[in-house]
Amino acid sequence: MPNRSFFWFFLPAGLAMILFIGLPIISTGIQSFYAQHDQILIEVKKCDPFGCKTSVVVDQEATSKIKEEKPLGKFNGFGTYIDRNHLASDQVSEFWSESKSVGEFIGKVGNLPFYKALVFTLTYCVIVTPCVLLLGFIIALSLNAISRKIRGPLIFGTILPMIVTPLVGSLVLFWMIDAEGIIGANLQILMDDPYLSVKSSKALTWITIIIYGVWHHSPFAFVVFYAALQTVPQEPLEASIIDGASRFQRVKHIVLPHIYPVVTFVALISLMDNFRVFEPIIGFSAEGSAQSLSWLIYDNLVNEEVILFGSAAATSIMTIVGISIILTPVLLRTWKEFRTNR
């Protein structure tokens, strides 16, 4: 396609992206550098049905004056980024100097909210993405090999997890692992421990969320792989059969190289999706044991009675940076191939 027509094709989508994605990101970025003004508190008499007492409130007159002058708040630079609830530079260096072993240091850092969330997010990403790719590929291969007559219903059954709303899907599993649910109760009997709780055990919660993630995302990989498998040319496959190649050899040397670009695509999308893991944490009420970066943003915005815009903005920006870092190797590789193909 000539560059000119590409430009016109891309323009509407590009404009929408700038308007609805680009500008909000810039505004989020700006917001992350600001904190609230110093609160001006005054002592007043407060009365309620349970009696009167003297206590403090925010002085609205004084505050509104400052707010009018500087509506964005107090410039804080990278202050929010390096505070304890984010990168915690002071705490990390303090832990480094006072820790006797690397293990102790890691334990202490892992206790900080941002790193806690980062560890879960990365663990989830690193385990779920390959599992999704592998499972999706296996399902696609098997479905591609069976009789056409039953393929339709089977494909429908396979993509069901993707059709089910994430929250509903996670809630169903959530009730099953309840101490009195079918999985939870049976686990208690199996392990002979009446106080075993999948929901309160950190490890078991993580495993549950990861299994849920694989279950939910595999159909996507499957659909794309299945479509790609339809384009694999039959001639080389037949030739290899005549040459005596086994099924495994055929998949390894002909099918995989052919659909390789699609694998890269699915890996990219899965990585991005998994890095933003959020719904299962809400669905499983797993806030206590598993927090992700997206959950931190949500927590800052809605769970507090006071909304922490600066914190949420800083975490958002760091999530974007995180995704970019994770995607760099894959993108670099694609770019290199693109250059060599030219």
Cβ proximity of 280 and 212 under 8 Å:
yes
Q: Any residues with CB less than 8 A from the CB of 89 and at least 6 apart, and which? A: 82
Which residue in the set 94, 98, 104, 287 belongs to the binding site for other proteins (CB under 8 A)?
287
If one asks whether residue 58 binds other proteins (CB under 8 A), the answer comes out as yes
Closest of 206, 190, 44 to residue 198, by C-alpha: 206
Structure tokens at 121: 């997010």
Closest of 206, 224, 223, 225 to residue 126, by C-alpha: 206
Binding to other proteins, residues 143-182 (CB under 8 A): 178-179
Q: Which residue has the tokens 């040459």?
A: 243
If one asks whether residue 35 binds other proteins (CB under 8 A), the answer comes out as yes
Cβ-based nearer residue to other proteins, 215 or 284: 284
Pick the piece of the chain touching other proteins (CB under 8 A) from 19-27, 153-161, 266-274, 287-295.
287-295
Which residue in the set 1, 4, 8, 48 belongs to the binding site for other proteins (CB under 8 A)?
48
Q: Applying CB under 8 A, what is the total number of residues that bind other proteins?
A: 57
User: Rounded to whole angstroms, how far apart are CA atoms 120 and 292?
Assistant: 6
Cβ-based nearer residue to other proteins, 27 or 64: 64
| Site track for other proteins across 183-222, x = CB under 8 A | -x---------xxxx-xx-x--------------------
Cβ-based nearer residue to other proteins, 98 or 304: 304
Shortest approach of other proteins to residue 142 CB, angstroms? Answer: 37
User: Rounded to whole angstroms, how far apart are CA atoms 198 and 145?
Assistant: 38
For the chain, the 3-state helix, strand and coil shares in percent, each to the nearest 5, are 70, 5, 20
If one asks whether residue 308 binds other proteins (CB under 8 A), the answer comes out as yes
Q: Identify the helix (H) or strand (E) that includes residue 319.
A: helix 309-341
Cβ-based nearer residue to other proteins, 58 or 325: 58
Pick the piece of the chain touching other proteins (CB under 8 A) from 6-14, 139-147, 226-234, 302-310.
302-310
Cβ-based nearer residue to other proteins, 49 or 244: 49
| Site track for other proteins across 228-267, x = CB under 8 A | ----------------------------------------
Which residue in the set 1, 5, 13, 50 belongs to the binding site for other proteins (CB under 8 A)?
50
Q: Any residues with CB less than 8 A from the CB of 196 and at least 6 apart, and which? A: 187, 188
Cβ-based nearer residue to other proteins, 283 or 322: 283
Cβ-based nearer residue to other proteins, 36 or 99: 36
Enumerate the H helices of 48-88 as residue ranges. Answer: 60-69, 79-82
User: Rounded to whole angstroms, how far apart are CA atoms 94 and 71?
Assistant: 35
**Sign of the torsion angle spanned by Cα atoms 314, 319, 320, 326:** positive
* Half-sphere exposure for 79 (CA within 13 Å, toward CB): 10
Which residue in the set 14, 22, 77, 288 belongs to the binding site for other proteins (CB under 8 A)?
288
Q: Any residues with CB less than 8 A from the CB of 26 and at least 6 apart, and which? A: none
Cβ proximity of 132 and 126 under 8 Å:
no
| Site track for other proteins across 75-94, x = CB under 8 A | -x---x--xxx-----x---
Cβ proximity of 210 and 277 under 8 Å:
no
- The residues of the shown chain that bind other proteins, judged by CB under 8 A, are 35-39, 41, 44-51, 55-58, 60, 63-64, 74, 76, 80, 83-85, 91, 111, 113, 178-179, 184, 194-197, 199-200, 202, 284-289, 291, 299, 302-308, 310-311
